[in-house]
């Protein structure tokens, strides 16, 4: 919740006088939405965390340069934008295995894991704060972090990416965006037109938010339960029956991915269904997701291992994006999704 103008002005005055606690309280009001913004820009939870901390440090050190030509919120977004644009100049865009190469052939071997920071990372729904919006906004907060939307953003040039988020997600005006990007209104308008054209051609006709609302809470919960049960019991037919005919299944950081029932059946039989699993439903990137716990024979317990993000097409699953987690950070990642760190 944004504080009143009087409180904000008082905190800003104290911060300008060198009061770090006042600045921390002021910045804290916007930290959550800045983090979500940086995630949309960078496609990485860790990069977003680092970018926000970097941006707030820059803001603290440059507070004397804030002239009040814009709101403090808009000024902080300007610094966060420049911070993320700096990062994009030195790092590859984030993608999924389907962008990395063709689908695996039936019976083909799994490729070696690629641990370079090139993969899109899942975003906890807890990150999606109620950022202020306006009639300028075209997309819902959750819609704008869906897997398809995030892949689209990563494919856009950084300037178009920033403009689309600032204008159509966060609802900043063209004038505000031009100040944040240190460019002209005409440049912002041109970049937005190109980004909207790409989005219109590249995004699915129906968002996952629409799909979830059409199903309703009870049907969504039932779908998650049936999916988990099929995996836990090794019921290939039941699992395939929940998928569309051309469903895809990818597992970053493994480049290998599968498409179609025949290919998926062969892989499921020789792969994940041989393991022992427990599952808990959650949400990630605004979509239905399932936390997957793998049985560890050494400890005799089910340990956090994978976040499966499910992309729905009606009452079927059109894609499973199974984010394989590093063992050293899996428990922390599960906690960020509101999941227990032990399913034993």
Question: 148: closest CA among 91, 113, 101, 200?
Answer: 200
Domains of the chain: 5-91+122-202 (1.10.1740.10), 216-336 (3.10.450.50)
Rounded distance, CA 177 to CA 188, Å?
Answer: 7
Structure tokens at 259: 């498409």
Q: What is the pLDDT of residue 2?
A: 44
Spatial contact of 319 and 249, defined as CB atoms under 8 Å apart: yes
Q: What is the pLDDT of residue 138?
A: 85
Q: What is the pLDDT of residue 163?
A: 97
The segments of the chain whose pLDDT lies below 50 read 1-6
Rounded distance, CA 258 to CA 251, Å?
Answer: 9
User: pLDDT tens-digit profile of 64-116?
Assistant: 888 877 889 999 999 999 999 999 988 888 999 998 899 999 988 889 999 88
Bridge partners, residue 287, by sequence:
284
Q: What is the pLDDT of residue 151?
A: 97
Q: What is the pLDDT of residue 147?
A: 98
Q: What is the pLDDT of residue 67?
A: 80
Rounded distance, CA 120 to CA 296, Å?
Answer: 27
Q: How many CA atoms lie within 13 A of 116 on its CB side?
A: 12
Spatial contact of 309 and 289, defined as CB atoms under 8 Å apart: yes
Q: Quote the longest CA-to-CA distance of the chain.
A: 67
Q: What is the pLDDT of residue 70?
A: 82
Question: 172: closest CA among 189, 155, 197?
Answer: 189
Q: What is the pLDDT of residue 65?
A: 84
pTM over 0.75: yes
If you count them, how many residues does the chain have? Answer: 344
Q: What is the pLDDT of residue 15?
A: 87
Q: What is the pLDDT of residue 131?
A: 62
User: pLDDT tens-digit profile of 126-166?
Assistant: 888 656 666 678 888 899 999 999 999 999 999 999 999 99
Q: What is the pLDDT of residue 130?
A: 58
Q: What is the pLDDT of residue 18?
A: 87
Bridge partners, residue 258, by sequence:
249
Structure tokens at 12: 């800003």
Rounded distance, CA 324 to CA 24, Å?
Answer: 35
């Amino acid at each position: 919740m944004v504080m009143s103008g009087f409180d904000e002005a008082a905190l800003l005055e104290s911060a300008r006088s060198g009061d770090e606690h006042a600045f921390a309280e002021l910045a804290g009001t916007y930290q959550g939405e800045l983090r979500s913004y940086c995630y949309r820009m960078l496609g990485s939870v860790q990069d977003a965390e680092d970018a926000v901390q970097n941006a707030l440090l820059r803001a603290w050190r440059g507070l004397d340069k804030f002239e009040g030509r814009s709101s403090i919120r808009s000024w902080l977004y300007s610094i966060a934008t420049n911070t993320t644009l700096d990062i994009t100049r030195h790092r590859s865009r984030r993608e999924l295995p389907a962008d990395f190469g063709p689908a695996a052939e039936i019976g083909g071997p799994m490729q070696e894991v690629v641990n370079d920071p090139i993969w899109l990372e899942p975003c906890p729904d807890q990150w999606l704060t109620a950022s202020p919006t306006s009639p300028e906004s075209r997309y819902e907060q959750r819609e704008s972090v869906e897997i398809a939307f995030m892949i689209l953003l990563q494919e856009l040039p950084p300037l178009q990416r920033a403009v689309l988020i600032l204008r159509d997600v966060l609802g900043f005006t063209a004038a505000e965006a031009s100040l944040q990007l240190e460019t002209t209104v005409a440049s912002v308008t041109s970049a937005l037109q190109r980004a909207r054209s790409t989005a219109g051609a590249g995004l699915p006709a129906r968002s996952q938010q629409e799909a979830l609302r059409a199903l309703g809470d009870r049907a969504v919960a039932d779908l998650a339960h049936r999916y988990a049960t099929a995996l836990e019991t090794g019921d290939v037919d039941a699992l395939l029956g929940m998928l569309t005919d051309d469903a895809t299944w990818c597992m970053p950081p493994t480049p290998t991915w599968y498409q179609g029932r025949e290919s998926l059946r062969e892989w499921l039989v020789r792969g994940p269904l041989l393991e022992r699993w427990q599952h808990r439903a959650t949400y990630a990137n605004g979509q239905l997701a399932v936390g997957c716990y793998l049985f560890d024979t050494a400890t005799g317990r089910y340990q956090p291992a994978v976040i499966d993000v499910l992309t729905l097409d009606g009452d079927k699953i059109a894609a499973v994006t199974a984010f394989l987690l590093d063992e050293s950070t899996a428990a922390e990642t599960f906690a960020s999704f509101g999941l227990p760190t032990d399913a034993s």
